[in-house]
Structure 1
Amino acid sequence: EGEKAIYQNHWMAGGNEITWDMIHYDVQLFGGVVLHQGKIAEMATGEGKTLVATLPVFLNALTHEGVHVVTVNDYLAKRDSEWMGPMYMFHGLSVDCIDKHEPNSEARRKAYNSDVTFGTNNEFGFDYLRDNMAVSPKDLVQRKHNYAIVDEVDSVLIDDARTPLIISGPVPKGDDQLYDQLRPRVEVIVKAQRDLTTRLLADARTKMASEDPKEQEEGALLLFRSYKGMPKYKPLIKYLSEQGVRAAMLKTEAFYMQEQMRNMHVVTDPLYFVIDEKQHSIELTDKGIDMLTGRSDDPEFFILPDIGSQLSELEGTELPDEEKAAKKDELLQNYAIKSERVHTVNQLLKAYTLFDKDDEYVVIENKVKIVDEQTGRVMEGRRYSDGLHQAIEAKERVKVEAATQTFATITLQNFFRMYSKLAGMTGTAETEAGEFWDIYKLDVVVIPTNRPIVRDDQNDRIYKTKREKYTAVIEEIESLISKGRPVLVGTTSVEISELLGRMLTLRKIKHNVLNAKLHQREAEIVATAGQSGVVTIATNMAGRGTDIKLSPEVRKAGGLAIIGTERHESRRVDRQLRGRAGRQGDPGSSVFFVSLEDDLMRLFATERIAGLMDRMGFEEGDVLEHNMLSKSVERAQKKVEENNFGIRKRLLEYDDVMNSQREVIYKRRRHALMGERIDNDVANMITETSKNIVENNEDMYDNMKLELLRVMALDIPFEEEDMKRIKPNEMVDRVTKAAFETFKRKTERLAEIAQPVIKQVYENQGAMYENILIPITDGKRVYNIACNLKEAYETGSKALVRAFEKSILLHTIDEDWKEHLREMDELRQSVQTASYEQKDPLLIYKLESFNLFREMVNDINSKAVSILMRGQIPTQDPTSVRQAAPEQKTDYSKYRTRKEDTEGLSAPGEGRGGQQPPRQPQKLEPIRVEKKVGRNDPCPCGSGKKYKNCHGR
């Protein structure tokens, strides 16, 4: 009433009633300044990052150009929009959350037009890709990318950076896969290798226990052989933690690694296949190929033939041409089949030996779902690439999904780099500050805490075996709850969380388990995790973004105790777990329990620590605890982080090539969609096509004449005798001029023929029809062109011609871009073998992809020009005109959105950080060939077509 404003200070957010009683601390104002400057604010857990964001969001939203607040999951996006929304609305700003609305809906469009838009990183990215597949301007949802604040910025821009966003659709014969068919053979060879490893390990134990140095040496060789055969075999891992054992194996490994692994075949020949766990790669041996071939009629069932030498041998024969062509067809067909077979077997071997259920993935409702190693959450919709996911599905005997084709893709890195201003906030960014600057040009600023942190971060406790470690964890939990303290136990996998749960049940200790299988109760479990004596076991997901509140009694008892059951590959994830305790000056403690059998220690850190334990004569159950050892573990983590940064940077370097191409094509497509520059674009296409035809046939009059007729339906504008005296530039000018005149004449004629039909429909049925479909053909196929009836009538059918041009441009761009993405995927796979020749695959990829892109642009130009030049109305019958749907919306139902994990893309010869492993100069391996025919190479049959479109189908 009057000048009084009535506004309540309590409302519902995330299903709970909240009361607004917060005022920013001074340090939160600092945080707001940093975010407004377009930097990353590192604020400790519990320092109120959500409240800090309100300051820069409000300030930047005043321009009404749109502020995007990006979170890691839809629960946080919806909760934060409901929690902070009323405050923005009170000041006259509009607020919405895209995750509350269906894609491509009017409500989502409205959400993007709000001043403040909340949403998840994936949905922002997928909406960008959908916008670039739209067929009508009314389907577009996003505005210009103005300012984004990314919550948990490390999770979005670093952890998710290796997983591109992909919109895909079905491909012909996508179900024709060999995974189920070849699974029985792979199971046989995996079982044989496991049995062999068991025997090797038993013999190695016996020989290494001997007093004879020669026997010990033989034992170390057997041990190293079993490690190369099954590095994740549990009895082997346990034996390697015993005194002196690992040191003996590492000495043997060093011996066989010298001289570029000249003698490594001595180690690997008795095995069926060789596993390199660090590189995530597997190679079959001769013995393994013999077993896989089995009783097959073809003794070379799994051997890729040397296609180059076979074809040159065939050329040297004196067979008749027809017979030669048939033989060539047979050879190429055989090569394509075997290539697919070898790839399928390799991915199945990886699935059986390197990927464990309830660790890397879980099976829920007969579907294989990847578990995020950083958070322990199930990653819905994400699939391993390159057939690895299908291989795991075959292993678990669930339905093997059909292969799909990429229609649109972008990495999160390149999506967020499109924003004019980008900022982020997290509790842990300092360790990755170099990467944030290198890739995003974002500074990291550490904001001081409001109150000093009093949490007691203890040194790591290191045990020899996992069994000793877990027993010590249970004893520690018993000790802590007896003091009335709540305990949060952080694990790295579902399997370990369930194992600890069973151990606590045996001790009759009440507890809650929170993992990828049981995530529905997350908010409820986290809410009670701070109560006295409560034990919560959680994978690393442990409620990021939700507070663990402590009662006064718990504070008095010493606060929340954090126990880490294993060091993670990333220091950042460990810091996140520690940060669950000691929020806002609360008391608390954190400690990590580590064993020499843990993955991180096994792969990167144990040599020095194992040696130290051996020298000090440690017995079972003894614990090693020292600041120096914690530093040693951190060094191992640093090594892995550098590796992972290398992978992410390499991925970005590859995607940067694609990104510059994507920007050109999407810009072109947007021009066609909006229709603003369509005359310019068509003119450029005609000019480029004319130039290409002339330049490709400079001295060949008949060829040029034929090409102009075939592509542009155009008579050559000069005689053969003129060709010798006219300069090439003048030839191009003449052809281009003639093409423009012909195009102008044909479009005017098209409008002239269409107008009587449109006039008749408008006068007779104008009241009934708003939009109409008019058939136009280029002589090969009919295109139904939608246009506004009234507009077409009033412009003398010029609007119809414009709609025809727009429709053909969109159609040709979409078809060729889709095919180009497939070619780029295949190119990326095929260039990796260059590292064996000491060449950089990335350089070859850049060069080849430029050629592919140029080919695609030329193809788009010539296809579009060809259709536009030949366009005509097949019949002047008004009954052929149909009513168009009131609003032609893009149909996305046949498309799938997914994030593709690059685990399956470990490039041969390009180690995990882009390093090339030393080559093994043993006899030529049967599954590699000197010259592989790339899918984009000319087909060796001589047809002139690309291999993939000829014999590589």
Structure 2
Amino acid sequence: MEVAGRLRPPTRASDEELRDRLRVLPPDFARSDQALASFLIDLRELADRRIGLRPYDVQLQAAAAMLRGVSVEMATGEGKTLVGALVATGLVLGGHRVHVLGANDYLARRDADWMGPLLRAVGISVEAVTSAADQTTRRAAYRAEVTYVPVSEAGFDTLRDRLRLDPADLVGIGHDAAIVDEADAVLLDEARVPLVLAGEDARRAGTDTELAVFVASLAAGTDYTVDPDRRTLHLTEAGLRRVEQRFAVADLFGADADLLTRVHVALYAEELLRRDVDYVLDRGRVRLVSRSRGRVEALQRWPDGLQAAVEAKERLAPSAGVQILDQLLISDLIGRYGRVVGMSATLLPAAEELYELYRIRCAAVGPNRACIRRDEPDRLGRSADERDTAAVGLVADLHRSDQPVLVATQSVAESDRFGSLLAAAGLTPAVLNAKNDAEEAAVIAHAGRPGQITVSTQMAGRGTDIRLADGVAELGGLCVVGLGRFPSHRLDLQLRGRAGRQGDPGRSVYFVSPDDDLVVENGDAPAGELDDAGLRALVEHSQRAAEARQQDLRRLSARYGRLLATQRDQFLELRHAVLTADRGLDELQLLIPDRMACLVDQIGDQPLRRSVRVVVLSSLDRRWSEHLAYVTELREGIHLRALAREDPLYEFNRLVQAAYAPLIDRACAEAAGLVERAPVRDGGLDLDAVELYRPGATWTYMVTDDHFGSEWERIGRFALRHLR
């Protein structure tokens, strides 16, 4: 729809008149071109007055599309934060309670504070949730009409509410409408990353140093082979014999299959997980590095087996094991919302998959000012050394003219190494990677200054624009240099978008070589020397192959997760009925009617109801936690079923279904036994006298993404190969 020019801004109307006009709009106002245009123009005036930002026409067009259910692509620096506030206002006026889902605490707090005056001018309550918020603060924030919250915190609060034993303790997050920033990253790249609610479990702590020493003695090519993409490996017949001899076992595909799984995990940690690439060591701890965001993820860890294997490899003291209480995929969290729209600078390349998986429609909105950035053809090197030498030469040339440069690398190790190459050339770069991401704001703030050289691991999802200092536009603006293409074309585009924002000048160029990880892991280089055209084609093919593999794995992991998601829905429906109604009481009255009748006489109806609710919920939670632990353990090694010519997906679903079938009955029987054994003291049921399941202090973490070889990645590669 055309918004600009339809109505003149009512500049003489007071703030109160503008608010009143907005508040009397009908709930379905977005369906009418006239009503929607009036809404946007009045809100533009309020935004100008209250937060000093007058939305551009393209921002109004983006908001109009999103209010009609279409997610939008907007270039970096085009003002998505303001668009999100416009859309949130419209959704609230349409009768919705809105979560604006962002990347991190900083953005949630910043955007709530920044956009708050505009929303409150319309009479809309607005709050923010961060990881530091206590339960009381969270409960109040979710009662606001607009809540700015990191995606992970919304997920963790959903998980925490699933474990409440008293309805009064619920934070009541709700899942009505969501506006998703960086939508393609959240809905695709991070959609298979589980959010996990866990408790420390000393029984699971420990590392297997013996296995770490053993796998380090195995010889590549003789005892095991590594796939060309360096994402999975296999023991050879010789390697299997060495395992059997070393550990005196005879049936690695039967009774001793657990040992085979542990050996594979230890070997994976030894061979394929690299320090300063996949993880860093920090004060005696293994801290994971997000490949998509280039920073340490403080709340991420691998599943227990792989985490312990890396700790054993590095000869570190073991971290505490974990007892998984529940988990939630970000894709499942988003699926809980009744209405979802998103925005991103790179939405259109993902449009087909977003529609396939979420039925989300996408459209592009042009920039307010035409982009004049020069995106140059890739510069080719015959080796990584030749590539880096050329890149250092370009940076030095630009520095001599005082033009600022941003260099993006693929890993912590590469950023450190390239920073050293620049230093050796007499240059002084600022290096931003997972080792110093606390300095991010200061580094980014300086990146647009004359002569500044910034080396970063990845710029996607940082939520901070690089603004040009005075006089830099005349020098040509920011130059973005990429060392090797990223595994997704969308990441390439996000990096380029750091230059040339809002019509600024700028340029971008990638330096590539056949030694790049992308090419080595995904390419199929022909024998002999490649000419320029051949190398360009190889790089493009490698990126397409990497993207296709990720799409295949997303589809496959969705198939693996479908049954567990169904089981979780059934379980949560029952748990909610126990928490908020008398379902638990009904179950126990069928199992132990005499005991229940006696307890009513002894302690009264209401005290009995409260005690039964706690007992049944605790028993359900214990059984569900055990089920998740079993599923986690199962999927760690299910890919090995392909070696025995079994279908891993079929076997996984068969075993998971068999494990879940008796879960509810066993939980109810356990609860009945606890109630029968619990003594009556001081007019109530003494639950402390029986073995009631009460998890200790809980904590949260995110299992790392699949680049590091998570269990889903291993399942996917084996299953895809098997299905083909």
TM over 0.5: yes
User: Which residue pairs with 1:765 in the alignment?
Assistant: none
Structure 1 residues 52 and 577, CA gap change in structure 2 (3 angstroms) = same
User: Which residue pairs with 2:5 in the alignment?
Assistant: none
User: Which residue pairs with 1:301 in the alignment?
Assistant: 247
Kept in 1, the 8 Å contact 2:648–2:715? The answer is no
User: Which residue pairs with 1:284 in the alignment?
Assistant: 235
2:599 to 736, 750, 753: 750
Indicate yes or no: 2:328 matched with 1:407. Answer: no
Indicate yes or no: 2:458 matched with 1:427. Answer: no
Structure ID, larger Rg: 1
1:813 to 597, 620, 631: 620
User: Which residue pairs with 1:911 in the alignment?
Assistant: 717
Structure 1 residues 101 and 93, CA gap change in structure 2 (3 angstroms) = farther
Match of 2:628, SS?
A: helix
Kept in 1, the 8 Å contact 2:409–2:457? The answer is yes
Separation of aligned partners in 2, 1:602 and 1:391: 26
Deviation string 1:604-625 (CA, Å, 9 cap, x unpaired) is 33525x6463xx5xxxxxxx4x
Structure 1 residues 96 and 606, CA gap change in structure 2 (3 angstroms) = same
Structure 1 residues 461 and 658, CA gap change in structure 2 (3 angstroms) = same
Match of 1:641, SS?
A: helix
2:110 to 61, 79, 90: 79
Kept in 2, the 8 Å contact 1:165–1:409? The answer is yes
1:504 to 394, 414, 422: 422
Q: Which amino acid aligns with 1:592?
A: Y
Indicate yes or no: 2:264 matched with 1:346. Answer: yes
Indicate yes or no: 2:51 matched with 1:41. Answer: no
Cα drift, residue 684 of structure 1: 6.3
User: Which residue pairs with 1:700 in the alignment?
Assistant: none
Structure 1 residues 825 and 395, CA gap change in structure 2 (3 angstroms) = closer
Indicate yes or no: 2:292 matched with 1:374. Answer: yes
Separation of aligned partners in 2, 1:273 and 1:125: 40
Cα drift, residue 427 of structure 1: 0.4
User: Which residue pairs with 1:451 in the alignment?
Assistant: 369
Deviation string 1:222-248 (CA, Å, 9 cap, x unpaired) is xxxxxxx3xxxxxxxxxxxxxxxxxxx
Cα drift, residue 579 of structure 1: 0.6
Structure 1 residues 874 and 76, CA gap change in structure 2 (3 angstroms) = closer
Structure 1 residues 368 and 306, CA gap change in structure 2 (3 angstroms) = closer
Deviation string 1:862-883 (CA, Å, 9 cap, x unpaired) is 4445666x478546x66x8899
Structure 1 residues 172-571: aligned runs within 5 Å:
173-175=203-205, 177=207, 179-187=208-216, 189-190=217-218, 193=219, 229=220, 271-278=222-229, 280-285=231-236, 287-288=238-239, 299=245, 301=247, 303-305=249-251, 335=255, 339-385=257-303, 387-541=305-459, 544-551=462-469, 553-571=471-489
2:83 to 47, 52, 60: 52
Cα drift, residue 448 of structure 1: 1.2
Match of 2:350, SS?
A: helix
Cα drift, residue 437 of structure 1: 1.2
Structure 1 residues 887-926: aligned runs within 5 Å:
894-901=697-704, 902=706, 903-905=709-711, 910-911=716-717, 914-916=720-722
Separation of aligned partners in 1, 2:109 and 2:518: 37
Indicate yes or no: 2:557 matched with 1:651. Answer: yes
How many residue pairs get matched? 673
Separation of aligned partners in 1, 2:696 and 2:95: 33
Q: Report which stretch shifted further, 47-56 or 383-392.
A: 383-392
Structure 1 residues 899 and 912, CA gap change in structure 2 (3 angstroms) = farther
Kept in 1, the 8 Å contact 2:196–2:700? The answer is yes
Separation of aligned partners in 1, 2:418 and 2:167: 55
Structure 1 residues 583 and 420, CA gap change in structure 2 (3 angstroms) = same
Indicate yes or no: 2:167 matched with 1:137. Answer: yes
Structure 1 residues 863 and 351, CA gap change in structure 2 (3 angstroms) = closer
Indicate yes or no: 2:151 matched with 1:102. Answer: no
Match of 1:449, SS?
A: coil
Separation of aligned partners in 2, 1:155 and 1:909: 22
Separation of aligned partners in 1, 2:563 and 2:429: 51
Structure 1 residues 682 and 828, CA gap change in structure 2 (3 angstroms) = farther
Indicate yes or no: 2:631 matched with 1:824. Answer: yes
Structure 1 residues 433 and 384, CA gap change in structure 2 (3 angstroms) = same
Structure 1 residues 521-920: aligned runs within 5 Å:
521-541=439-459, 544-551=462-469, 553-605=471-523, 607-608=525-526, 611=528, 613=530, 624=532, 630=536, 632-675=538-581, 678=582, 682-683=585-586, 712=591, 743=593, 747-754=596-603, 797-829=604-636, 831-836=638-643, 839-864=646-671, 870=676, 874=680, 894-901=697-704, 902=706, 903-905=709-711, 910-911=716-717, 914-916=720-722
Separation of aligned partners in 2, 1:356 and 1:508: 29
Separation of aligned partners in 1, 2:123 and 2:276: 49
Match of 1:391, SS?
A: helix
Match of 2:479, SS?
A: strand
Considering only aligned residues, what root-mean-square deviation do their CA atoms show, in Å? 3.0
Match of 2:627, SS?
A: helix
Q: Which amino acid aligns with 2:51?
A: W
Cα drift, residue 895 of structure 1: 2.1
Structure 1 residues 559 and 19, CA gap change in structure 2 (3 angstroms) = farther
Structure 1 residues 176 and 340, CA gap change in structure 2 (3 angstroms) = farther
Cα drift, residue 64 of structure 1: 6.5
Separation of aligned partners in 1, 2:452 and 2:636: 50
Structure 1 residues 685 and 641, CA gap change in structure 2 (3 angstroms) = farther
User: Which residue pairs with 1:128 in the alignment?
Assistant: 158
User: Which residue pairs with 2:182 in the alignment?
Assistant: 152
Match of 2:662, SS?
A: helix
Indicate yes or no: 2:193 matched with 1:163. Answer: yes
Match of 1:553, SS?
A: coil
Match of 2:600, SS?
A: helix
Structure 1 residues 411 and 872, CA gap change in structure 2 (3 angstroms) = closer
Instruction: Mark the runs of 5 or more structure 1 residues left unpaired by the alignment.
Output: 7-17, 194-228, 230-267, 294-298, 309-334, 617-623, 688-711, 714-742, 755-796, 885-889, 919-953
Structure 1 residues 399 and 555, CA gap change in structure 2 (3 angstroms) = same
Q: Which amino acid aligns with 2:443?
A: I
Deviation string 1:897-950 (CA, Å, 9 cap, x unpaired) is 1111352316768527823289xxxxxxxxxxxxxxxxxxxxxxxxxxxxxxxx
Identity of aligned residues (%): 31
Deviation string 1:387-428 (CA, Å, 9 cap, x unpaired) is 122111122222222332211011101111000001111101
TM-score w.r.t. the length of structure 2 is 0.86
User: Which residue pairs with 2:19 in the alignment?
Assistant: none
Cα drift, residue 350 of structure 1: 1.7
Kept in 1, the 8 Å contact 2:379–2:510? The answer is yes
Kept in 2, the 8 Å contact 1:78–1:100? The answer is no
Structure 1 residues 837 and 816, CA gap change in structure 2 (3 angstroms) = same
Kept in 2, the 8 Å contact 1:643–1:913? The answer is no
Q: Which amino acid aligns with 1:159?
A: D
Instruction: Mark the runs of 5 or more structure 2 residues left unpaired by the alignment.
Output: 1-12, 17-48
